[in-house]
Amino acid sequence: MNEHLSNYRHTLAHLLAKAVLETYPDAKPTIGPAIDNGFYYDFDFPTPISDKDLLALEKKMRSLLKDWVKFEHKEVSEKEAKDHFKNNPYKLELIDEVIKKGEKITFYTCGGFTDLCRGGHLENPAKEIRADSFKLTHIAGAYWRGDEKNKMLTRIYGLAFESKNDLEEYEKMRVEAEKRDHRKLGKELEIFAFDEDVGPGLPLWLPNGGAIIEELEKLGRETEFNAGYQRVRTPHIARDSMYLKSGHLPYYEESMFPPMEYEGGKYYLKAMNCPHHHKIFDAVPKSYRDLPLRLAEYGTCYRHEKSGELFGLMRVRMLEMNDAHIYCTEEQFASEFQAVNEMYIRYFKIFGVEKYVMRFSTHDPKKLGKKYVNEPELWKKTEDMVRKVLVDSKIPFVEVANEAAFYGPKIDVQVWSAIGREFTLATNQVDFAVPARFNLTYTDKDGKKKNPLCIHRAPLSTHERFIGFLIEHYGGNFPLWLAPIQVKVIPIGEAHHAKANEIYNILRKEMIRAEIDLTDESFGKKIRSAKVMRIPYFIIIGDKDIVAGKVTLESRDVGQVGQLGEGDVLERIVREIKERE
């Protein structure tokens, strides 16, 4: 989001707050930022409102807009600020926080509305904002400050773009996105389920989902084997001493499940694979000849996500990660890091991802020792190394401050689906700190002990997030190699059952995920049923096919292929699966 668009949307958040106060004078505004597709503002309403009330608020915003001609900025004292917001406990809490951080307290006023704000607005909203470029969309509950222990507020969402055309295009995309919603299609296509007895955020993979997972893992294993990775396996729990040593407990404990007391010690569910892989590295002495060492695992991790943040497969509490850790020398770093990026790009081609960008996250020097390990020289050196690889390889990237991992800079991979929706899928991180904490060493050419660098990477993300993305990306129409059910054998009548069973058994012998429909339903209903499940190929068998010694092949994507020999059909299907077309 560019700065002008961010200011555009943030200005509309202020305008919404004014419209709410004019309509509901007893409401208490809290915070209202710009977001990727618009803005929101959280309010504490004395009486509930609903989506039905949004149209009136939207009209009020448009009527107020003509008088919003200039934003005025003013620095105020603590007393002035608290006097102004004396009846709003949420703003008073924010004022106290600003003071604790040593920042100036600033007010911004426009159209008779004053808000506590750090800035980021349009100079003349009445002139710059088009009345048809924004729209209030829906209401949701949101805990104050995102903490479920706090009061539930009412969040009003709005869409906002710089033109009516951009807004309309986004709304068209959103309608298509709703059709492709992975939660809806995941249920219809019998891919995954959630169950209250199992617990929120803990997906159950149904057989169709299991088939997709097996194909993704097969692709990962093949790719990593050819790239010189070695596969390992690690436990789902570990003692607290390991996570203290890695630094995860001090920096990451809130995202870990509470510990289990056992035999006088504390055990945590595994929230990340890296400490376990460090222990595997350390299990056998290493020399420079053993590096780079690439350890890979589809490791299962558990994250204590807040209930309000869970979202289908995109935010879950159990995740299976396409994880690997590369231990290398400083001289090997550039080629290893570049090889990881190239692996991402190869995967993008396989899955038809045409738009992507690497989000290069660096640290904030002011937060060393708090959010980040306190190694200023290593931070600069490592960030320079990553930046050079990205520039030299001409991979598209953006640089973002204060979003690094606590142990080093990282790249988050942003991709866009077939309908233009943005997803954060995978990560590529550099760790210059934790190997030393574990005293991981290798012997160099001169016989000296050195700490390796470690690259954390997960090109295929987690099964949960990646399959959620793929469901929406393909709209449930998975390519043949990835489809849970690849072929449906459909005999027209009972007289054709024997031949259908013969074809079905040949397909299964070739490890093709085939099903056969021997029900008493009409032929038309059998075809419709197969299409609902988005099966790539149907093999139809009727009188004419048996007389000709052939079968009729129909494709989900291109329609009827025609009458072909059994061997030709088998060869076609096997080839498409093998080549992952």
Residues of the domain holding 356? 194-235+271-474
What is the SS3 assignment for 253-310?
HHHCCCCEEECCEEEEECCCCHHHHHHHHHCCCCEHHHCCEEEEEEEEEECCCCHHHC
Same domain, 142 and 199: no
Q: Please check whether residue 297 lies inside any domain of the structure.
A: yes
392 and 413 belong to one structural domain: yes
Q: Which two tokens stand for residue 393?
A: 């390889």
Domain holding 566: CATH number? 3.40.50.800
Q: What is the pLDDT of residues 535-559, one digit of tens each?
A: 999 999 999 999 999 999 999 999 9
Q: Does a structural domain hold residue 245?
A: no
Q: CA–CA separation, 317 vs 306, rounded Å?
A: 9
In a shared domain, residues 122 and 224: no
For residues 115 and 208, membership in a common domain is answered with no
Regarding whether 222 and 111 lie in a shared domain, the answer is no
Write the pLDDT tens digit of every residue in 30-83: 999 999 899 999 999 999 999 999 999 999 999 999 999 989 999 999 899 999
160 and 30 inside one domain:
yes
Strand 28-29 vs strand 38-44: parallel, antiparallel, or unpaired? antiparallel
Provide the pLDDT for residue 115. 92
Same structural domain, 222 and 297: yes
pLDDT tier at 1, thresholds 50, 70, 90: low
Write down which residue in 415, 441, 474 finishes a domain: 474
Domain-embedded: residue 240: no
Domain-ending residue, one of 139, 156, 179: 179
Rounded to an integer, what distance in angstroms lies between the CA atom of residue 302 and that of residue 416?
27
Higher pLDDT, 332 or 376: 332
| Contact between residue 193 and residue 206 where contact means Cβ atoms under 8 Å apart | yes
Interhelix angle 333-351/376-393, rounded to 10 degrees, is 50
The pLDDT of residue 119: 87
Same domain, 200 and 175: no
State whether 311 and 173 are in the same domain.
no
pLDDT at 98 over 80: no
**Residue 188: inside a domain, yes or no?**
no
In a domain, 465, yes or no: yes
Question: Cβ(316)–Cβ(464) under 8 Å?
Answer: yes
Tokens of 116: 């506590």
The domain that contains 431 carries what CATH number? Answer: 3.30.930.10
The answer to the question of residue 247 being in a domain is no
First to last CA, the chain: 34
Residue whose C-alpha is closest to residue 471's, from 139, 168, 203: 203
**Count of domains observed in the chain:** 3
251 pLDDT more than 80: no
Residue 147 falls inside a structural domain: yes
**Residue 45 domain-assigned (yes or no):** yes
What is the residue-averaged pLDDT of the chain?
Answer: 92
| Interatomic CA distance for residues 342 and 346, integer angstroms | 6
**Contact present, 29 and 94 (Cβ < 8 Å):** no
Residues 455-480 pLDDT 10s: 999 999 999 999 999 999 999 999 99
Q: How far apart are CA 112 and CA 430, in angstroms?
A: 49
Q: Taking residues 182-204, what's their average pLDDT?
A: 96
CATH code for the domain in which residue 127 is found: 3.30.980.10
If asked whether residues 511 and 466 sit together in one domain, one would say no
Q: In this structure, are 23 and 166 located in the same domain?
A: yes
pLDDT digits (tens, 9 = 90+) for 340-399: 989 999 999 999 999 998 889 888 888 887 777 788 888 888 888 889 888 888 888 898
- Is there a single domain that holds both residue 295 and residue 432? yes
